[in-house]
Amino acid sequence: SWHGVVPESFRQFRQRQPDAELQLNPLSTMEQIEAVRAGRLDAGFVFNLQKTDPDFDHLPVSLHNLVLAAPKGHPLTKLKEIRLRDIGDTSFVWFPRRESPAYYDRLMQECFRGGLKSPNIVQEGVDEATILSLVLHGVGVAFVTDNARWRCPKGVTILPVTDLVLPFLLSLAWRKNNLSPLLTNFVGLVRQLPEVKAFAKGRIS
């Protein structure tokens, strides 16, 4: 919510629908999907929505990749290029598997494939803000999405990992049978955002 489609969609919606109340709920992808399915939320910005879910419609808005967050001065920040096999002995801040089992398993598989066969996990954090804070205080390094650079603490460096390819599709998701006019207006607004239109054009071409 620091940069890009998400805050811009909220800003424009408030301008165009000043009479509507916009309630924001910061939740994980899994929690959002459950809340939208149950009708507690009208829509959510979620990562890697299962396209086969018959209850949902969705609009892809952007694609993100994983990068490494490390405290400034960490030995890894001195390398010209970082590969997964280079960080085998490094202390990691990770996230609990229960927060996103599919993502957790995909990341572990990608690490194993690249030579990081058993990450040295010393601490878990349930969300990216907590993880970045732990990295800042030298607990370890962590994998975060590349949009973390917009809210990264000054004492944390964002580093690319050349052989870590694990893209995350961010989509706006909502229930197909939700006929709310406000939801329809919001989806239409997001669809017309320049960043979303450019992303859709790139995916088609």
The answer to pTM > 0.75 is yes
**Beta strand 168-175 pairing with 43-47:** antiparallel
Query: Distance between CA atoms of 149 and 9, rounded to whole angstroms?
Result: 20
Per-residue pLDDT of the chain (205 residues; tens, 9 = 90+): 566 788 899 999 999 999 998 888 888 888 899 999 999 999 999 988 877 788 899 999 998 899 999 999 999 999 999 999 999 889 999 998 987 788 889 999 999 999 999 999 999 998 888 999 999 999 999 999 888 887 788 999 999 999 998 888 899 999 999 999 999 999 999 999 998 998 888 765 4
**How big is the chain, counted in residues?**
205
What 3-state DSSP class applies to 74? Answer: coil
Range list of β-strands (E), 18-119:
43-47, 56-64, 66-71, 91-94
Rounded to whole angstroms, what are the CA distances from 2 to 9, 38, 83, 113, 149?
12, 27, 28, 32, 10
Contact between 77 and 70 under an 8 Å Cβ cutoff? The reply is: yes
